Amino acid sequence: MASRSTTLEVATMKTRLTESGPEVLAVLCFFLAGSVSAQDARPSAVSETLPQLCAPTRVFDSGKLKVYAVSPVRKVFSKHKPDAWGKVTTKDKIQLSMARNETEPFFLVLRPSAELKNVTISFDWTPKSDTGGRPSAEPTWSYRRVAEVPVKGISRWYGLAGFETGTIPDPLLSNEAFTAPADLNSVLLVEARTSFNIEPGLSSGSIRVHADGTLLASLPVEVNIWDIALPSKPMLQTLTHNLEDRSRASWNFLHEAGFTALKYGPDAPAVRLDKTGELHVDFTEYKKGLDVVFDELGYDYVLLPPSLLGYNSHVSKSYLGLGLSVGSEKFWPVFDQYMKKLGDFYRASGWNDKVVFYMFDEVNEEHHELVIKLAKRAKLHFPEVTVMISTHVMSDELAAALDAWCVPWHFFATQPEHIPNWRKWQRGGLELWAYMNSLYTLNTAASLGANRFYPSVLAKYGYKGNFWWGIAYNGKKDPWTELHRHGNQKQGMYGNGLLFYPPRKKRISGFVPWHASLRWESYRQGLDEFALMAQLGDLLTQVRRGLGKPAQQDHFSKERSMRWWGSLLASEFRMHTFRPDVEYVHRFRQLIAHELQTLSQRPLGIADVEYAGGPYIASNTAHIRGVCQAGTLVTVAGKRVTRQQGFSQTQPFSYRMEVRLQPGRNLIPVVLDDGKGNTKTFFRDVHYRMPESKQK
């Protein structure tokens, strides 16, 4: 699928590097509105102290009510005592950090000693006084209450086990007044939202807890707003089915939730095959639906209707409902007509680049020859269409016939040793999407963290999209009272195909918004980290151009950099390789935000860690390398880079330094100083896990 251009505005800054040698003119492009605007920004602080949400924090204790701020990637059960969370810190305020145009959530956990009735939350914010006469734009706030649903047994599917049973926190309710039981946790998902035009820097206010109209607690909140902004639309494509109906209200709900592509959107156009073999297609109603999907709501893609041509080892026996077996002699003339008519229709409407022909799901190798023939015939009649399949096995010939490949990450047929082939086919123009059904697992402890990490791991490997096969499936049962165990009696999985819960009491006709799950909200928040990584990769590409030849080496490439950043969260691509301390995501965000605000500042330079195998390193040394403009003084972990280590006074140079590590996390500062009053600091977080053989 062709990469779509973002809405980023690009400006060009020319930096003249004049030293004692030849003059070098470097051109640095950095992103402004809708992306990064950091050329004059003060970098966000990175210190040994982790962000507050990296550990549960008690922020209020009156004896009658205790209140905690907890990371939204930590699953908080109503019945668990805070002691079960491990280390709990104490602070006198809640501290958050976020970009412009971002929503940042956290759990507010209320634990009263006696039952509280009619509990509500309100927000009070202090307008900034130093806005230079501009209207003050403060964060907006909202909250939803976390409910729990019954899970009767364990999940065991796709090589993953979920052992949580009883009631499990997952669906999100509205912000109506509620009762907070004594000595139990009432969990609220609180969200701060910033606009594009909010001023960077610190902003403060309070969250107030009320019961029966009485103020019980006023919790100070401090938000550090980074001088970077997320784009207006998600940068990772997210594809799913419709909900209960195909209506504007339903499509709008999904689009606002974060979906960018539909399978299939409106009802398929009506088809009729006459006695002469001519295919008639009526696009009237279908076009009305696509007018809404594309032109009103702004979706990026729909799948070509009406359905799959096959799955696994099966092929459809009734193409277009006409009783034609896919691949049969009678099939091909009808297929050719249909693809041509579709191409003409989309092209006439200006939607020819918004259609994905997803032909087969998990197709076996026995049908790859048929897939190649279908792809070539489809392109013959509709050249602009994106042809995609999902399959466990790819070949050079199949990759050459496709535009996109949806890789099943949860199946063990997909192996880490295939990753070099991913890169080869990506360089050849094949776009990669993925789906990982194990992420649905409701009752595994890692579910929230894994869904949060997943988009960043996709960015690590240069993937462009993700496919949720279902978001409202529960085996025709009411998920509020009986969750379906997808699979069989011996093995199965709770939550497979279910990310949204239907309205509990539907009192009106028409579409009523569904209830998002915590698993979905974790994934949706991970879309923001994907966008940060994508913007960082684009900015790095521009900086490398400004640094000339030394920065063009492959180990300084955007692809290599994304692998390192992604390796902070996962060593490979399956859930069991994701780091277990999921709250680290808040440090990860902090490091990326600092990098985005620092990278385009003077003096021009980049920094890299040679190891990119995963969150932990087994060696007690790390090698830091990078490239700087001529004459830049570089200090790594307090030691100056010498000429023997690469320093040059006359031209851009690469450097390499060895750093001794202590067991645990090591925050390594890399300071660049041009000697003209311009300095900046990169930070590299390296976690040394001493091998057991070396431990005493």
Question: What element of type H or E holds 411?
Answer: none
pLDDT (0 to 100) of residue 30: 35
Chain-centroid distance of CA 142 in Å reads: 21
> CA torsion sign, 485 to 487 to 492 to 497?
negative
- Give the whole-angstrom CA distance, residue 254 versus residue 92: 38
pLDDT in tens, 258-287: 999 999 899 999 999 999 999 999 999 999
pLDDT in tens, 98-154: 999 999 999 999 999 999 999 999 999 887 666 555 556 789 999 999 999 999 999
- Give the whole-angstrom CA distance, residue 323 versus residue 105: 51
Question: What element of type H or E holds 651?
Answer: none
Fold match flag (52-227 vs 237-435): no
CB 485 within 8 A of CB 474: no
Percent share of the chain, pLDDT over 90: 83
Radius of gyration of the chain (CA): 27
CATH number of 52-227: 3.40.50.1000, 2.60.40.10, 1.10.1200.10, 3.90.1300.10? 2.60.40.10
Its pTM stands at: 0.92
Of 24-38, 171-185, 301-315, 574-588, give the lowest mean pLDDT range: 24-38
pLDDT (0 to 100) of residue 136: 60
CB 566 within 8 A of CB 591: no
Q: Average pLDDT, whole number, for the chain?
A: 90
The mean per-residue pLDDT over the stretch 306-332 comes to 95
**695 confidence band (pLDDT: 50, 70, 90):** low
pLDDT (0 to 100) of residue 22: 34
pLDDT (0 to 100) of residue 244: 75
Beta strands in 182-309 (DSSP E): 186-193, 201-211, 214-229, 237-241, 261-263, 270-273, 279-282, 301-303
Give me the helix-helix angle, 558-567 and 518-546, nearest 10°: 140
pLDDT (0 to 100) of residue 696: 59
Closest CA to 527 of 299, 297, 257, 296: 257
pLDDT (0 to 100) of residue 433: 98
The mean per-residue pLDDT over the stretch 87-102 comes to 96
- Give the whole-angstrom CA distance, residue 679 versus residue 564: 24
C-alpha to C-alpha distances, 198 to 30, 40, 42, 227, nearest whole angstrom = 20, 16, 16, 9
Number of H helices, E strands in the chain: 10, 41
Is 237-435 a domain of CATH 3.20.20.80? Answer: yes
For residue 39, pLDDT over 80 is answered with no
**252 confidence band (pLDDT: 50, 70, 90):** very high
What token pair was written down for 46? 């990175």
Domain residue spans of the chain: 10-45+526-694, 52-227, 237-435
pLDDT (0 to 100) of residue 24: 35
Give me the helix-helix angle, 585-598 and 447-460, nearest 10°: 30
Hey, what amino acid is at 563?
R
Q: What is the DSSP string of 36-64?
A: B--TTPPPPP--SSPPGGGS-EEEEE-SS
**303 confidence band (pLDDT: 50, 70, 90):** very high
- Give the whole-angstrom CA distance, residue 575 versus residue 481: 28
10-45+526-694: CATH homologous superfamily? Immunoglobulins (2.60.40.10)
The mean per-residue pLDDT over the stretch 158-184 comes to 95
For residue 524, pLDDT over 50 is answered with yes
pLDDT (0 to 100) of residue 27: 34
Closest CA to 121 of 180, 209, 191, 60: 209
pLDDT (0 to 100) of residue 43: 42
The mean per-residue pLDDT over the stretch 637-656 comes to 91
**165 confidence band (pLDDT: 50, 70, 90):** very high
Residues in the chain: 696
pLDDT (0 to 100) of residue 110: 98
Hey, what amino acid is at 452?
R
**645 confidence band (pLDDT: 50, 70, 90):** confident
pLDDT in tens, 559-568: 999 999 999 9
pLDDT (0 to 100) of residue 36: 35
Percent share of the chain, pLDDT over 70: 92
pLDDT (0 to 100) of residue 462: 97
For residue 658, pLDDT over 50 is answered with yes
pLDDT (0 to 100) of residue 691: 84
